């Protein structure tokens, strides 16, 4: 790890990412966004399975893959090939963070476990991501986002009362785990700066998700039962989605001041005067009656009209329910430069969703497009000091996969 000279906080940090799909992929993308050099190690001829997630595809490329892979380099290594494994160990010697999300036991079988790699680099930060962690009765089970959403309690509180539990529309527990992973890697790097010591991090998806229960966990701690409430909130009212004349609007009332301002904007002075709706606790207890009263008024105007009245004029927290295209393309996002473009080696300009940290005294952002499979096979080893003749011999030996393959 070395000090950077262009203001990017993780400049000089090198990451080797052997993970597949979201948990490791989004983690290393976060690190790349802050300046780390991320080398994605992929299965020859096939790559990360997320490359094949679709449809849709654009000229054979998965846009889903792009969102997890901006800012990285890609190399292919056949880890069943002893020479490829030795090449990996060479890279590990100069690596700061190593990421894998194998099922427990697989890293040991591939000889890429912490004990093996720390022999080559004793100050390595090693991040082992799995569904249930490296210990415990479920540790050897495989697991993905849907399973963890169900087992973490998220699906128990998502959806409408009396109906089937619903999965959050995003791969939420994958992304939660990825963010913990990036946080763990950066805090371990900070610790290493102070102590000079490497670190092994055991991160399980199920445990990663539980701290995010917050409000619902608090209810359980208080002996109360959680339930599915649609868009409603168990402890705040009104705090939900309402129907308007032509669509939907979200209104968020967190205190009595905002409640009074909302009623004034709606021209409903009778609501706060009603004993059923006077205080937040009263409104929570009479939520169905409150919803009927508010929706009767909201039905008189369109969503855009109510946004102007409630959010713009009255300053009360309210917003429309956008579809994904609208979420990616609106005046606020445009003004903040969140969705931009980056040059792809085969497709020209492609969209990139920038990450949100805007430092006052540091730079961030993606500098590389999502890589083609094996695009940097030669570059990475050339930068590592290998000669062209050595890289040629590696290719012939199948280090990057079958040299006779058309891939």
Cα separation, 368 vs 243, whole angstroms: 43
Q: How far is CA 10 from CA 5, 200, 260, 309, 392, in A?
A: 11, 19, 47, 45, 32
Q: Is 250 helix (H, G, I), strand (E, B) or coil?
A: strand
The DSSP H or E segment spanning 229 is: none
Active site residue 275: no
- Omega before residue 130 within 30° of 0, cis: no
DSSP state of 111: T
CB 269 within 8 A of CB 261: no
The Cβ of residue 137 has, within 10 Å, a number of other Cβ atoms equal to 7
Q: Which residue among 145, 174, 274, 402 is the active-site one? A: 174
How far apart (Å, rounded) are the C-alpha atoms in residues 215 and 157? 11
What is the C-alpha to C-alpha distance for residues 15 and 207, in angstroms, rounded to an integer? Answer: 24
Adjacency order of strands within the sheet including 97-100 = 72-76, 37-42, 14-17, 97-100, 125-130, 199-204
Residues 6+ apart with CB under 8 A from 233: 239, 240
Element (H, E) at 306: helix 303-306
Tokens read off for 300: 């008189």
Whole-number Å distance between alpha carbons of 192 and 202: 17
Backbone Cα Rg of the chain? 25
Q: Shortest CA distance to 101 belongs to which of 143, 47, 154?
A: 143
Q: How far apart are CA 4 and CA 21, in angstroms?
A: 30
User: Which residues belong to the active site?
Assistant: 174
């Amino acid at each position: 790890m070395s000090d950077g000279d262009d203001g990017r906080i993780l400049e000089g940090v090198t990451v080797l990412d052997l993970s597949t799909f979201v948990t490791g992929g989004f983690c290393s993308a976060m690190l790349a966004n802050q300046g780390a050099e991320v080398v994605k190690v992929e299965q020859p001829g096939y790559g990360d399975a997320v490359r094949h997630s679709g449809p849709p595809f654009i000229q054979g490329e998965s846009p889903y893959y792009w969102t997890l892979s901006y800012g990285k380099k890609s190399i292919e290594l056949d880890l069943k090939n002893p020479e490829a494994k030795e090449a990996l160990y060479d890279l590990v010697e100069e690596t700061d963070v190593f990421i894998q999300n194998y099922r427990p036991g697989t890293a040991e079988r591939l000889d890429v476990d912490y004990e093996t790699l720390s022999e080559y680099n004793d100050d390595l930060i090693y991040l082992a991501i799995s569904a249930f962690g490296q210990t415990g009765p479920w540790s050897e089970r495989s697991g993905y986002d849907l399973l963890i959403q169900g087992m973490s309690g998220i699906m128990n509180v998502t959806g409408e009362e009396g109906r089937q539990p619903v999965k959050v529309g995003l791969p939420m527990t994958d992304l939660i785990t990825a963010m913990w992973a990036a946080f763990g890697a950066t805090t371990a790097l900070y610790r290493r700066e102070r102590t000079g010591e490497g670190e092994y991090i055991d991160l399980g998806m199920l445990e990663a998700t539980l701290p995010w229960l917050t409000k619902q966990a608090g209810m359980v701690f208080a002996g109360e039962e959680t339930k599915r409430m649609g868009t409603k909130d168990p402890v705040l009212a009104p705090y939900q989605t309402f129907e308007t004349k032509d669509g939907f609007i979200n209104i968020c009332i967190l205190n009595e001041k905002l409640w009074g301002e909302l009623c004034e904007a709606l021209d409903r002075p009778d609501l706060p005067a009603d004993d059923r709706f006077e205080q937040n606790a009263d409104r929570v207890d009479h939520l169905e009656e409150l919803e009927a009263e508010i929706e009767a008024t909201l039905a008189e105007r369109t969503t855009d009209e109510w946004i102007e009245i409630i959010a713009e004029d009255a300053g009360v927290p309210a917003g429309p329910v956008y579809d994904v295209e609208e979420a990616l393309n609106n005046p606020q996002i445009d003004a903040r430069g969140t969705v931009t473009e980056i040059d792809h080696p085969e497709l020209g300009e492609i969209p990139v969703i920038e990450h949100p940290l805007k430092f006052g005294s540091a730079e961030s952002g993606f500098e590389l497009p999502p890589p083609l499979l094996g695009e940097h096979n030669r570059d990475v080893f050339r930068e590592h000091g290998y000669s062209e003749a050595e890289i040629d011999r590696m290719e012939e030996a199948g280090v990057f996969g079958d040299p006779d393959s058309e891939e």
